[in-house]
C-alpha cells in the first residue's frame, strides 16, 4: 500500500512540475514516505534525516518532506527533532503536498498538516506507475478491525470504500495503457462494501474484473479470515483471470492468542476456509503471515501454531517476531515473552515453513507454468542468464529465456520483455522459488511487453537528449527523489 502511495506522490509531484533528478545529482526535494509497521522505523527516519542535513546546508533551497504512517504517528515531533524538515503531512492529505511545499518555501517555515479524515481518496490523485505491465489498484483505505498488535487503524482511520464503478474505470484505463495484471489493494479486502452496505461486493468486484477485456491477471491483498466468505471463493474459481493464489494472514494458530490479538476467527474456521479454497481451486498456492511471541503466548500456544502450519501446507509465509509497537493495546499487555524465547520459537517456525514450502515446491517439478516476465525479481539473473517472473499461482520462477543455441547463449533469439508471458517447464523446486532450466515452450509477446518497450525507449531518448544538453533535461518522476523543473 505504501509503494502505491509513493506512486501517487510521484504522480502528484510530476503534475506540479517536478521531475526526477539524474542518478547521482543532488535533488532539490526529498520526500520520505514512511511506514510504521516495522520495528525501529522512527530511528531509521531520524537517522536518514540526519544524513541529509549536510546536503541540505550545502544546497540552497533544498526541501525535505516526510509523509506516511510514521509522520501521522510522530506529527510535530518530527520538526522538533529535525527542524530542517520543511513539510510533514499525514496519511489523509497526500494531495496537499505540492501546496505545502510551496507554502514552506514562501513563508520560510516548516508546514505541518494533518487531516483527521480522508479529504481526497488517494486514487483520485495522479499516479506515476512504477510498472507498465502490473498495477496496484486501491479498493479501500483504512480498517474497521482493532487487532491489538496493529497501529494501522489509528494511523489510517476507519475503512473507506471506493465505488465499484470508479475502480473498474481505473482498471479499464490501466488496461488501455498496456497493463495486464492488477492487484486490488485494501487493508481488509473482504470487508469491501461494508461502507455502502453490500456484503457481497468483493466477490462481485472480482467477477466484474473478469469482464475486462485484455486484463489477464487479477490478484488481491489482503483478505481477512473473519470476512472471507464462500461467495468470494466461488467468484475466484469461476473467474478465469482471477489468479489461483491466496495470501491469508493466520497470525497465530492458538485460539487463546487469536482472542488476545482480537482476531475474530479461530483456528478451525481458518482451516475450513483453506479446505474450501482447495476444494474449488486445487491448484491454489496459499501463503500467510504469522507473528511469533505475542504477549501471553505459551509453548502450548506456539505448538498450536506449528500444528496449523503443518495442516495448512503454506507455499510460503512471512514470519515476524512480535515486538512492542507504542500506541497499540498489545504494547502494555502482561506476559511479554522474553526475546530469547521468541527467537527460539521463530527459528523453529521458519525451519518448519521452509521444510513444507520445499516439499510443496518440489511437487511442481515437471509441471508447465505460465510466467509473467518481471523486472527486478531475480537478483542473480545476470549471472545465471535467467529471467524471472511470477507463475499464475504467484510462485517466483527463474527461467532460461532462450531456445537452445550452439554456444548456449541464446544469441539471435528475441528475449522476452518484462510484461511478456513465457510458458516453461519447472525443473527444480527450491524453498523460495522454482527453476525452469529448459528452453521455453512458448514466448507470447503482449501489449504489456510493448508498453514496457515504449517506456524504455522514451527513457533512453530523454537520457540522450539530456546528454546532448549537458544533462539538463529532466526525466519523469518515479519513486524517490524528485527535483523541481526550471
Q: Name the grid cell of 310.
A: 503443518
Shortest CB 283 distance to ligand SF4, Å: 27
What DSSP designation does 474 have? Answer: P
Stretch that binds ligand SF4, among 101-109, 131-139, 148-156, 359-367 (CB under 6 A): 148-156
Q: Which is nearer to ligand SF4, 132 or 249 (CB)?
A: 249
Q: Which is nearer to ligand SF4, 249 or 296 (CB)?
A: 249
The verdict on 328 binding ligand SF4 (CB under 6 A) reads no
Stretch that binds ligand SF4, among 9-17, 124-132, 145-153, 389-397 (CB under 6 A): 145-153
Q: Which is nearer to ligand SF4, 150 or 421 (CB)?
A: 150
Which residues, listed in sequence order, are joined to residue 112 by a DSSP beta bridge?
88
Residue with cell 486445487: 282
Shortest CB 140 distance to ligand SF4, Å: 11
Shortest CB 150 distance to ligand SF4, Å: 3
- Measure the CA–CA gap between 71 and 417, rounded to whole angstroms: 38
Q: Which is nearer to ligand SF4, 33 or 145 (CB)?
A: 145
- Measure the CA–CA gap between 439 and 79, rounded to whole angstroms: 57
**List of residues 6+ apart from 77 with CB closer than 8 A:** none
Stretch that binds ligand SF4, among 149-157, 167-175, 335-343, 382-390 (CB under 6 A): 149-157
The verdict on 152 binding ligand SF4 (CB under 6 A) reads yes
Pattern 372-411, ligand SF4, x by CB under 6 A: ----------------------------------------
Report which secondary-structure segment, H or E, holds 363. Answer: none
Residues 24-83 that bind ligand SF4 (CB under 6 A): none
Shortest CB 263 distance to ligand SF4, Å: 7
Number of residues near ligand SF4 (by CB under 6 A): 9
- Measure the CA–CA gap between 260 and 427, rounded to whole angstroms: 44
Q: Which is nearer to ligand SF4, 101 or 150 (CB)?
A: 150
Residues 223, 177 contacting (CB under 8 angstroms)? no
Q: Which is nearer to ligand SF4, 41 or 373 (CB)?
A: 41
Shortest CB 187 distance to ligand SF4, Å: 4
Report which secondary-structure segment, H or E, holds 373. Answer: strand 368-374
Burial pattern 180-189, b for ≥16 Cβ within 10 A else e, equals bbbbbbbbbb
Residue 440 DSSP SS3: coil
Pattern 185-214, ligand SF4, x by CB under 6 A: --xx--------------------------
Give which of 129, 95, 20, 118 is closest to 451, Cα–Cα: 129
Q: Name the grid cell of 313.
A: 501446507
Stretch that binds ligand SF4, among 4-12, 50-58, 150-158, 371-379 (CB under 6 A): 150-158
Q: What share of the chain is helix, strand, coil (3-state, %, to 5)?
A: 40, 20, 40
The verdict on 123 binding ligand SF4 (CB under 6 A) reads no
The verdict on 145 binding ligand SF4 (CB under 6 A) reads yes
**List 70, 71, 118, 150, residue binding ligand SF4 (CB under 6 A):** 150
Residues 291, 322 contacting (CB under 8 angstroms)? yes
Stretch that binds ligand SF4, among 146-154, 265-273, 348-356, 410-418 (CB under 6 A): 146-154
The verdict on 153 binding ligand SF4 (CB under 6 A) reads yes
Shortest CB 304 distance to ligand SF4, Å: 19
Residues 264-323 that bind ligand SF4 (CB under 6 A): none
Shortest CB 417 distance to ligand SF4, Å: 36
- Measure the CA–CA gap between 289 and 319, rounded to whole angstroms: 6
Residue with cell 503454506: 314
Give which of 437, 456, 453 is closest to 445, Cα–Cα: 453
Q: Which is nearer to ligand SF4, 188 or 394 (CB)?
A: 188
- Measure the CA–CA gap between 123 and 160, rounded to whole angstroms: 12
Q: Which is nearer to ligand SF4, 152 or 426 (CB)?
A: 152
Q: Name the grid cell of 309.
A: 502450519
Q: Which is nearer to ligand SF4, 153 or 410 (CB)?
A: 153
Residues 223-252 that bind ligand SF4 (CB under 6 A): 224
Euclidean distance between the first and final Cα of the chain, in Å? 32
Q: What's the order of all strands across the beta sheet hosting 63-68?
A: 29-34, 63-68, 87-89, 111-113
Shortest CB 149 distance to ligand SF4, Å: 7
Q: Which is nearer to ligand SF4, 322 or 399 (CB)?
A: 322
Q: What are phi and psi of 417, to 5 degrees?
A: -105, 155
Q: What's the order of all strands across the beta sheet hosting 181-185?
A: 134-138, 181-185, 217-221
Residues in the chain: 486
Q: Report the interface residues with ligand SF4, using CB under 6 A.
A: 143, 145, 147, 150, 152-153, 187-188, 224
Amino acid at each position: 500500500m505504501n509503494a502505491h502511495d509513493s506512486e501517487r506522490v510521484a504522480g502528484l509531484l510530476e503534475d506540479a512540475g517536478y521531475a526526477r533528478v539524474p542518478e547521482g545529482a543532488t535533488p532539490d526535494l526529498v520526500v520520505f514516505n514512511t511506514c510504521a509497521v516495522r520495528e525501529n522505523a522512527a530511528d531509521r527516519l531520524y537517522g536518514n534525516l540526519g544524513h541529509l542535513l549536510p546536503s541540505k546546508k550545502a544546497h540552497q533551497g533544498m526541501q525535505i518532506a516526510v509523509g506516511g504512517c510514521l509522520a501521522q504517528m510522530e506529527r510535530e515531533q518530527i520538526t522538533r527533532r529535525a527542524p530542517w524538515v520543511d513539510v510533514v503531512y499525514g496519511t489523509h492529505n497526500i494531495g496537499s503536498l505540492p501546496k505545502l511545499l510551496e507554502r514552506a518555501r514562501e513563508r520560510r517555515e516548516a508546514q505541518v498538516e494533518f487531516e483527521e479524515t480522508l479529504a481526497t481518496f488517494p486514487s483520485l490523485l495522479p499516479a506515476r506507475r512504477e510498472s507498465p505491465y502490473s498495477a496496484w489498484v486501491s479498493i479501500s483505505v483504512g480498517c474497521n478491525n482493532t487487532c491489538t498488535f496493529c497501529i494501522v487503524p489509528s494511523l489510517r482511520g476507519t475503512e473507506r470504500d471506493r465505488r465499484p464503478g470508479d475502480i473498474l474505470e481505473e482498471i479499464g484505463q490501466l488496461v488501455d495503457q498496456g497493463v495486464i495484471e492488477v492487484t486490488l489493494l485494501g487493508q481488509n479486502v473482504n470487508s469491501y462494501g461494508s461502507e455502502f452496505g453490500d456484503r457481497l461486493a468483493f466477490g462481485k468486484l472480482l467477477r466484474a474484473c473478469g469482464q475486462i477485456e485484455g486484463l489477464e491477471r487479477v490478484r488481491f491483498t489482503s483478505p481477512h479470515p473473519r470476512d472471507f466468505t464462500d461467495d468470494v471463493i466461488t467468484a475466484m474459481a469461476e473467474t478465469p483471470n482471477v489468479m489461483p493464489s491466496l495470501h491469508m494472514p493466520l497470525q497465530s494458530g492458538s485460539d487463546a492468542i487469536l482472542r488476545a490479538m482480537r482476531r475474530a476467527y479461530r483456528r478451525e474456521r481458518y482451516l475450513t476456509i483453506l479446505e474450501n479454497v482447495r476444494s474449488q481451486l486445487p491448484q491454489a498456492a496459499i501463503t500467510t503471515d504469522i507473528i511469533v511471541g505475542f504477549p501471553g503466548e505459551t509453548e502450548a500456544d506456539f505448538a498450536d501454531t506449528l500444528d496449523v502450519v503443518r495442516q495448512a501446507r503454506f507455499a510460503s509465509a512471512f514470519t515476524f517476531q512480535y515486538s512492542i509497537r507504542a500506541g497499540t493495546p498489545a504494547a502494555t499487555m502482561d506476559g511479554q515473552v522474553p526475546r530469547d524465547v521468541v527467537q527460539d520459537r521463530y527459528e523453529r517456525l521458519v525451519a518448519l515453513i521452509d521444510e513444507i514450502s520445499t516439499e510443496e515446491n518440489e511437487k511442481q517439478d515437471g509441471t508447465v507454468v505460465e510466467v509473467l516476465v518481471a523486472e527486478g525479481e531475480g537478483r542473480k539473473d545476470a549471472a545465471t542468464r535467467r529471467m524471472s517472473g511470477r507463475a499464475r499461482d504467484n510462485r517466483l520462477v527463474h527461467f532460461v529465456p532462450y531456445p537452445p543455441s550452439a554456444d548456449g547463449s541464446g544469441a539471435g533469439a528475441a528475449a522476452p520483455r518484462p510484461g511478456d508471458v513465457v510458458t516453461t517447464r519447472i525443473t527444480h523446486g527450491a524453498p523460495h522459488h522454482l527453476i525452469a532450466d529448459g528452453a521455453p515452450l512458448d514466448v507470447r509477446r503482449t501489449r504489456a511487453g510493448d508498453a514496457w518497450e515504449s517506456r524504455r525507449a522514451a527513457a533512453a531518448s530523454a537520457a540522450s537528449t539530456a546528454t546532448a544538453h549537458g544533462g539538463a533535461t529532466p526525466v519523469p518522476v518515479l519513486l524517490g527523489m524528485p527535483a523541481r523543473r526550471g
